[in-house]
Structure formats: C-alpha cells, structure tokens
Amino acid sequence: MSKFSNSWELMKGSARVLRLDKELLVFPLLSGVATVLVTATFVVPFAFIGEGFGALERLAEDPGYLGYVIAFLYYLALYTAIFFFNTALVGAAMIRLDGGDPTVSDGMRIALDKLPTVLGYAAIAATIGMVLRMIEERVGFLGRIVIGLIGVSWSLATYLTVPVLVTKDVSAIDAVKESASVFKQTWGEQVVAHAGMGFAFAIVLMLMMVTFIPVAIMVAQVNEVLVIPMMVSVFGGFVFLMLVKSALDGIYSAALYRFATTGDPGEHFDAEVMRQAFRPKKKRW
C-alpha cells in the first residue's frame, strides 16, 4: 500500500507537469504516426509481391533467414522511432523539472543530440526482441510463459534507460546497465506505476464503451447515420487517452530517475514523499 501511495503521488506530480506543458502530448502523437509509417513501409510492399499479403502470412508462419532479417530491420526502425520521440519527451520534461519552460523544439533538439545513443539502444532492444521471439517459436506453452516473463523483466529493467541517456553522455550499453542498477532501488514504484496506470486507463476505456454502446443503440433507432460521428468521437477519445498515458509515463520516468540519482524529484513533486519511498531498508541478520 505504501508503494501504491508513493506512486500515486508521483503520478499526480506528473499530471501537474502535463497541465503546464500540454505540448508534451505532441511527442507521443509523433511517435504513433511514426509507428504507423514504419509498419506501412514494411507491410505495404507485400501487396505487390506474388500473391500479395499471402506472402506475408507465409513468411510469418515460416520466417527462415529472410524473415528474421526483415523482422530485425522492422524492430530496429520501430524502436528507433519510439525511443527518439520518448527521448524528446523525457528531455523536455527534465527541463520543466529543472525549473525551465520547455518547448517542442527543445525536446526535438535533445533527441537529435542523442540520436547515436538512441540508435544503439534500438539495436540492443531489437536484438533482444529477436532472440526472445526465436526462442518462443521453439518452446512449448510453459516456455512461452517463461519467455513472456523475461520480456516483462527486460521492460522493467530498461524503464529508466531513456532518462539515463538524456541526462548523461554515456553509451547505449552503459545506459541500459545504469537503468538496471537504479531499478533495484525503484522496482516497487515502477511495477505499481505500470499496473496503476494500466488499470486506471482500462477503467476509463471500459466506462467509455459501457456508455457508448447503449447510447449508440438508441441513436441508431432514430438515425443510423449519427452513429458514425459517435464512433469517430469515441476513437478520438481513445487516441487522446493513449497520448496522455504515454506523456505521463515519460514524465514519471524522468522524475523517478532524477530523484533516485540526485535526491531531488524536481518542481511539482513532493520531495518528502519521495524520500519515504526510497528509505534504506533495514538489514536483517
């Protein structure tokens, strides 16, 4: 419960930062657009090859060496885009935590300065992703569960990699190592934050759907055409929620890493709550 309370206070601080810097929503939006473009770049060409998308389905079922090469390049391009805009988001958030007033151009400048490290981190993540996928294809049901747990562990251990590479002039490997090291201090806050944010946004989405379905049925009885703008509105609301969630997550990681390494979470966060969250554990003999 103390972990939940600490994480909730951190999330409220993240929300305060986002209210001040709504332009931070631009970065997850650009990340989403980049994700669609990267995916389209790798998928659309199959429409013009042989039997069209059937070739893509066969490649997924029996990848072979060519399939693994294409999958690695896809992961590399996708992770590069995601990490680039996440770096911009965390960089801009760090400026606010330091008392500044960040702009979108500030975040993009930071991301461009860190592009070589971002590429290195993307290469590491793509390699890990490919290795886990190759192993998963060769093991049974229980093996897939184990691989899934390894994937979750990797995500948590590398959660603070972007804040590390934003604030320090280190290589991608060193950034991953430091993120894993800080994870030992902050694992409770990280796990609860992931679970808490996911649960909160899932509740909001469920309420949206529970409200939308009966209303849509009533509206359809009057005029079916009106259901279309309603669906568009719901989709827009879903996209907005995902943008807010991504922005809060980036701000949260910036504040968490800042406090874990400096003892000061920055403006808009309660330092006393943070100190309680990171109290040294008593040794047991």
In a domain, 282, yes or no: no
Per DSSP, 168 falls in state: S
In a domain, 10, yes or no: yes
Each residue's pLDDT, cut to its tens digit, for the chain (285 residues) gives: 555 666 666 777 788 899 999 999 999 999 999 999 999 998 887 666 655 556 566 656 666 677 778 888 999 999 999 999 999 999 999 999 888 999 999 999 999 999 999 999 999 999 998 888 778 777 767 777 887 888 878 887 888 899 999 999 999 999 999 988 887 766 555 565 666 666 667 777 788 777 877 877 777 777 777 778 877 887 888 888 889 888 988 998 888 888 878 877 777 777 666 665 554 444 333
**Parent domain of 147:** 2-277
Number of domain units in the chain: 1
Characterize 241-268 residue by residue with b for buried, 16 or more Cβ atoms within 10 angstroms of its Cβ, and e for exposed: eebbbbbbbbbbbbbbbbbbbeeebbeb
pLDDT at 23: 93
In a domain, 167, yes or no: yes
pLDDT at 1: 53
Which amino acid is residue 171, in one-letter code? Answer: S
In a domain, 283, yes or no: no
- Number of neighbouring beta carbons within 10 Å of residue 145: 11
First-residue to last-residue Cα distance in the chain: 25
pLDDT at 284: 37
Is the distance from CB of 131 to CB of 143 less than 8 angstroms? no
Q: How much is the pTM? A: 0.80
Is the distance from CB of 242 to CB of 35 less than 8 angstroms? no
pLDDT at 50: 57
In a domain, 104, yes or no: yes
pLDDT at 122: 95
